[in-house]
Amino acid sequence: MSHIANLTMCILITFFGGISMASAQTYPSKAVRLVVASSPGSGVDILARLVSPKLAETLGQQVIVDNRAGAGGNLGAAFAARSAPDGYTLFLATPAHAISGSVPGNKSGYDMVRDFVPISLLTTGHYMLVVHPTVPAKSARELIALAKARPGRLNYASAGNGNATHLAGELFNMMAGVNTVHVPYKGGGHARTELLGGQVDFMFHNITAVLGDVRDKRLRALAVTGMKRAKAAPEIPTMDESALRGYEITSWFGVVTPAGTPQAAVTRLHSDFSKVMQIADVREKLALLGSEAVGGASADFAAHLRAEQDKWGRLIKQAGIRLD
């Protein structure tokens, strides 16, 4: 009996091991979904539509961009976190998703560190303070003066409660000592449309989404939120140098997949995303939009996510910001 049992065990190990190896070797065998937790026209959506055709070429399978806006980016993130961990659902993460995990009593339905496996940090960049052309402010300092002269009458758009675009506005209110009204929308694309239409006065938006509007004079740029000027718009000063010393919020986009995804799939995805982010055409287009291509190691992105959660948690606590 012992000999038969051992023989049976060897056969089973060989059989299932063969299936596992075959599965790893054939990944991907079908289309891959890239979930974007924002509406079309947002910065993260622009990135998704730029890289997805290139990724499809390297993977040899179709890459479908799936927009799932709502709840400040939490709707799409929660959907991705609950998806099968098989390598066929990817998620483009933003600072908003690190923010959700840093909130005490997080009710978003996911945690970036616990529920996802990092693949790669794709880009870094700036947020840009932009106003509708009818707003009589030509600089961040003038906007602050206007807000002080009109307390509670100016309003700013965001991509949703708890989004980085929301926290940027609240940090502006706190550091400038002004009272402007937060108007949340279901995604950055919707917020941008309302700002272009003059329904709101200003917004801190990802530079990738609004730089074209600034160049077309449909919006007026007052400042960028990094500590250094953006290479794509060097004429625009930083918030730190022009109005509020120490004001800094940086933008980034990275790709993750649900926790439990086979390592073979994660390794393949990291390799292919790294190739995409090195393509000259991709890097040039990102640079024109104000973003810098990164494509770093998975471990580096994991450390970045943990650092982001710590940073936003401290800011929310220190500023007394409410995200509901």
pLDDT, one tens digit for every residue, the chain (324 residues) = 455 545 445 444 444 444 444 444 689 999 999 999 988 888 899 999 999 999 999 999 999 999 998 877 889 999 999 999 999 999 999 988 888 766 666 677 888 889 999 999 999 999 999 999 999 999 999 999 999 999 999 999 998 887 889 989 999 999 999 999 999 998 888 999 999 999 999 999 999 899 999 999 999 999 999 999 998 999 999 999 999 999 999 889 999 999 999 999 999 999 999 999 999 999 999 998 888 899 889 999 999 998 888 888 887 887 677 666
CA distance 41 to 77: 18
CA distance 140 to 168: 13
Per-residue pLDDT, 11: 45
Is there a contact between 156 and 181 (Cβ–Cβ < 8 Å)?
Answer: yes
Work out the angle at residue 223's Cα, subtended by the Cα atoms of residues 171 and 138, and round it to the nearest 5 degrees: 110
Helix axes of 43-59 and 280-288: crossing angle, nearest 10 degrees: 180
Name the pTM for this structure: 0.79
- Fold type of domain 126-242: D-Maltodextrin-Binding Protein; domain 2 (3.40.190)
3-state helix, strand, coil in the chain (%, to 5): 50, 20, 30
Helix axes of 298-319 and 164-176: crossing angle, nearest 10 degrees: 40
Answer yes or no: same fold for 29-125+250-319 and 126-242.
Answer: yes
Q: Is the dihedral of CA 309, 312, 317, 323 positive or negative?
A: negative
Per-residue pLDDT, 285: 92
Per-residue pLDDT, 101: 63
Residue 260 three-state SS: coil
CA distance 272 to 290: 23
Residue that the structure tokens 């961009």 belong to: 65
- Fold type of domain 29-125+250-319: D-Maltodextrin-Binding Protein; domain 2 (3.40.190)
How is residue 127 annotated by DSSP? E
CA distance 204 to 131: 9
How is residue 41 annotated by DSSP? T
Per-residue pLDDT, 316: 80
Per-residue pLDDT, 1: 46
Q: Are strands 250-258 and 116-131 parallel, antiparallel or unpaired?
A: antiparallel
User: Domains of the chain: which residue ranges?
Assistant: 29-125+250-319, 126-242
Per-residue pLDDT, 4: 54
Rg of the chain taking only CA atoms, in angstroms: 22
